[in-house]
Amino acid sequence: MNRPPTTPEALRAAVGRLEKAGVPSPRADAELLLARRLGVERHGLYTGNPPDPAALGLFLEDIERRARREPLQLIIGETEFYGVTFKVRPGVFIPRPETEVLVESALENSPNLDLAYDLGCGCGNIACALAVNRGNLRVIATDTSAEAVALARENAALCGVAERVTVIQSDLGAGLFEKANLVCCNPPYVPSGEISGLEPEVRDHDPRAALDGGADGLEIMRRLAVEVKRLVKPGGRALVEIGHGQGAAARGIFAEIAGARVEIKNDLAGRERVAVVRLR
């Protein structure tokens, strides 16, 4: 009779399965998934003990989902962003670590913020991170997706900021009229023709509407510039995530449409990531 695998043996087999499937970080993903199922820290995985059979079965199911290139965040059901844990679910854009540059830029030198807009909020990660870090800030977040709106409201409650984060179903700034100190947006900016070449985790699981920026990737940015001109107070700012190589276009669009000055901030990889738009 075959003995059950030890924890290191189960882990080794799982890493091999993920490597064969082309998963970018097979060991880290396998360790995280197994530790979650066993209820231990990752350093506790390297014992000679066989794992609980029920937990092992669930772990193997998780590994098969990951091998099919389902995002790790969806398998776990949550992700961390700017030090805050957010629920995620299928059909809503999954936050990325590089978007933290936008939040960091929004919070820099801005102690007197009273109202901010998060246009196209997804799961509410930007809106909630801002509210968590600015105790007097009121945030109004919008999204066209009913699923995103429901999830953002749920996350606002989990973060303890539901009284200051209002989430409405709307297209960008439609229906908003009060001028704000700050507008944030992580718009779709991938050119339509490049979506098929994205990683399966993104291409097959993030909503197309959250990725597709039109033929040149700048379609939503042009619409956003009109909203920024209308909604941002003189002297206020808009923080807009952009794709690498879109910095010059962002400068031109916001200067022409909104009469604004634009500074481009890079992410930790040195790639253009955020347009800091300052209204005159």
Q: What pLDDT is attached to residue 111? A: 67
**Region label for 98, one of left (φ > 0), alpha (ψ between -120 and 50) or beta (otherwise):** alpha
Residue 165 and residue 128 in contact, taking contact as beta carbons nearer than 8 Å: yes
Top pLDDT among 22 and 2 is at 22
If you compute the radius of gyration of the chain from its CA atoms, what whole number of angstroms results? 21
Q: What pLDDT is attached to residue 233? A: 92
pLDDT of residue 3 exceeding 80, the answer is no
Q: What pLDDT is attached to residue 1? A: 41
Domains, in order of start, for the chain: 7-68 (1.10.8), 76-278 (3.40.50.150)
- The pLDDT tens digits of the residues spanning 228-267 come to 999 999 989 999 999 999 999 999 999 999 999 999 999 9
- The pLDDT tens digits of the residues spanning 191-208 come to 999 999 999 999 999 999
**% the chain with pLDDT above 70:** 98
The CB density around residue 58, as the number of other CB atoms within 10 Å, is 16
* Average pLDDT over the chain, rounded to an integer: 93
Q: What pLDDT is attached to residue 109? A: 67
Strand residue runs (E) in the chain: 78-81, 84-87, 115-119, 138-143, 165-169, 180-185, 232-241, 261-266, 272-278
Largest Cα separation within the chain, whole Å, is 77
pLDDT of residue 113 exceeding 90, the answer is no
Top pLDDT among 41 and 16 is at 16
**% the chain with pLDDT above 90:** 84
Confidence of residue 21 (pLDDT cuts 50, 70, 90): very high
Alpha helices in 7-92 (DSSP H): 7-20, 26-38, 53-67, 72-76
CA distance 257 to 238: 13
Nearest of 168, 259, 246, 255 to residue 214 by alpha carbon = 246
- The pLDDT tens digits of the residues spanning 123-155 come to 999 999 999 999 999 999 999 999 999 999 999
pLDDT of residue 110 exceeding 80, the answer is no
Q: What pLDDT is attached to residue 230? A: 95
